[in-house]
């Protein structure tokens, strides 16, 4: 029996995390919590899809300048440097990562949080399967090639209210 649960910082201190879905609501919350609650995290790779003519770095700059990260910018701005946006897409093999990023992510990651998915209720079945089923399968395939992986978590949260 466990006498005391370890605190979050001690669980993730010194670890490298790979997060998908970082531009979505759940992903942004996860990033913010890691940066505020785990100041000793080694690195947080965030998979970001290039979109609307913007690179992953430009999209990450837009994301972390939002109100969600006010606390991070105020209380622990140094933790933002631990976030490494990597350009990719869950609909592609190896998450669409370039060779250099793929090598770093595979070698360094010890924790995977897969939060990427489509939550559009009017999406085609084909696209929903591609992202929500095959995307998970592709992520599991990557996890199997991560020699330092200790923890993986797959999440699809859908909030829907009928008016």
pLDDT tens by residue, 23-57: 998 899 999 999 999 999 999 999 999 888 999 99
Sheet holding 83-87, edge to edge: 83-87, 43-48, 16-20, 111-114, 151-154
Q: Which domains does the chain have, with CATH numbers?
A: 8-154 (3.40.50.720)
Handedness of CA 34, 39, 44, 50 (dihedral sign): positive
| Cβ neighbourhood burial of 137 (10 Å; 0-12, 13-18, 19+) | exposed
pLDDT tens by residue, 102-121: 999 999 999 999 998 888 88
Q: How far apart, in whole angstroms, are the C-alpha atoms of residue 50 and residue 59?
A: 7
pLDDT, the chain, mean = 88
């Amino acid at each position: 029996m466990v006498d005391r649960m370890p605190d979050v910082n001690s669980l993730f201190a010194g670890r490298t995390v790979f997060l998908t879905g970082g531009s979505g609501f759940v992903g942004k919350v996860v990033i913010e919590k890691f940066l505020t609650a785990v100041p000793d995290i080694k690195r947080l790779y965030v998979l970001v899809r290039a979109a609307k003519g913007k690179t992953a770095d430009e999209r990450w700059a837009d994301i972390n300048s939002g109100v969600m990260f006010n606390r991070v910018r105020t209380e622990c701005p140094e933790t933002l440097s631990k976030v490494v946006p990597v350009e990719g897409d869950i609909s592609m093999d190896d998450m669409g990562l370039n060779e250099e990023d793929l090598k770093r992510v595979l070698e360094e990651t010890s924790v995977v949080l897969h939060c990427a998915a489509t939550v559009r209720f009017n999406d085609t079945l084909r696209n929903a399967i591609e992202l929500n089923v095959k995307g998970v399968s592709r992520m599991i395939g990557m996890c199997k090639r991560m020699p330092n992986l200790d923890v993986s978590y797959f999440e699809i949260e859908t909030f829907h209210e009928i008016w």
